[in-house]
Amino acid sequence: MSIAGRFSRLVTSPIKHHIYLSRSHDVAVNLSIEHYLFQKSHPASTILILYVNKPCVVIGTNQNPWFEVNHALIRRNTVDSSPRHDGSLATIQNSIKVLRRRSGGGTVFHDFGNVNFSVIFPLPDRVINYKHAEMVVRAIRKTNPRARVNHRHDIVLDPGPLLKKSNWPDPEDTHRTAYAFGNGELEPRKISGSAGKASGQRGLHHGTCLLASPNLPSISEYLRSPAAPYLFTKATPSVPSPVANIISPDTPSPTTSILQHQIINAFIQMYKIDITNIPLPQESTTALTSNENCASGTLDSSLLEIPEIRSGHDELQ
């Protein structure tokens, strides 16, 4: 059976937990796989999927692209970076896509230095629970202890000096850190924006993780439309925030693959998943495995063989 056929059967099965890693760097492919999982997965299952996209700008479903994006700059500036096999970055020429996702939230920039996570889960009370941002913070803190969840369910870094030990929070508190923050230079730096949606018995929470974006100095320029002051719109505007990479001079420098596996481990610990005889997804090969409690695997663009994923992909072009 093909990977696409086996994936379709696993997704609709009553297996309780699923962990997937996409090898595709096409944002339309990855968002379409994510949407397929949201629509077709078993209502009792909880699913984690991780992916890294080529440079693109993704706007929320309720946003106006002319209000959010500097289209002229994006057309003019096509310099980006691509990952080498050793995890370092090589400068190449690469165009930047602009497309609309199917969830709310603000406009975000993706590139090879950014890890995207998505969790799809049962939603009996029709209220989105952003607890998965806390899960991602636990993973990020393996690299940078300044990370926390703020009141908007975004993940930020507290940039100030270390607090007195008497003021340190519980290490398990994902909403506070041992570092100072405030206004001006001490304003928290956003490293992850997230969005959610609900339909029927299913909820979805997805977001970004700015690990080591080579485009960090340009993100605010890409996401600032010169036409915005002259437009009246009823669309939902983004909330501008200062941004930063998770990696800094005083932190370790993991690759996107390492961060992905830190998030996978946080997901396994959060849901106490039995992964006996289940190898974790590896980016080097496309494969699917499962036991009674968990399905795991690495996906790629061959899933476009599934009609719903193909139509979703074509719709986003």
Taking only the tens place, the pLDDT of each residue in 236-270 is 777 778 899 999 877 778 899 999 999 999 999 99
Give residue 65's pLDDT. Answer: 76
Q: For residue 252, give the nearest of 127, 129, 118, 142 by alpha carbon.
A: 142
Checking if the pLDDT of 315 tops 80, the result is yes
Taking only the tens place, the pLDDT of each residue in 116-156 is 999 999 987 666 667 999 999 999 999 999 999 998 889 99
Taking only the tens place, the pLDDT of each residue in 64-84 is 777 778 878 887 765 445 554
Q: How many CA atoms lie within 13 A of 151 on its CB side?
A: 0
Give residue 91's pLDDT. Answer: 44
Give residue 79's pLDDT. Answer: 47
Round to whole Å and give the CA distance between 24 and 309: 13
Give residue 10's pLDDT. Answer: 95
Element (H, E) at 269: helix 256-271
Give residue 80's pLDDT. Answer: 46
Round to whole Å and give the CA distance between 148 and 156: 6
Q: CB neighbours (10 Å) of residue 182?
A: 11
pLDDT higher at 308 or 101? 308
pLDDT grade for 287, boundaries at 50, 70 and 90: confident
Tell me if 173 sits within 8 A of 188, measured CB to CB.
no
Tell me if 197 sits within 8 A of 30, measured CB to CB.
no
Round to whole Å and give the CA distance between 120 and 197: 10
Which residue matches tokens 């309720």?
62
Checking if the pLDDT of 85 tops 80, the result is no
Average pLDDT over residues 88-117: 79
Give residue 86's pLDDT. Answer: 43
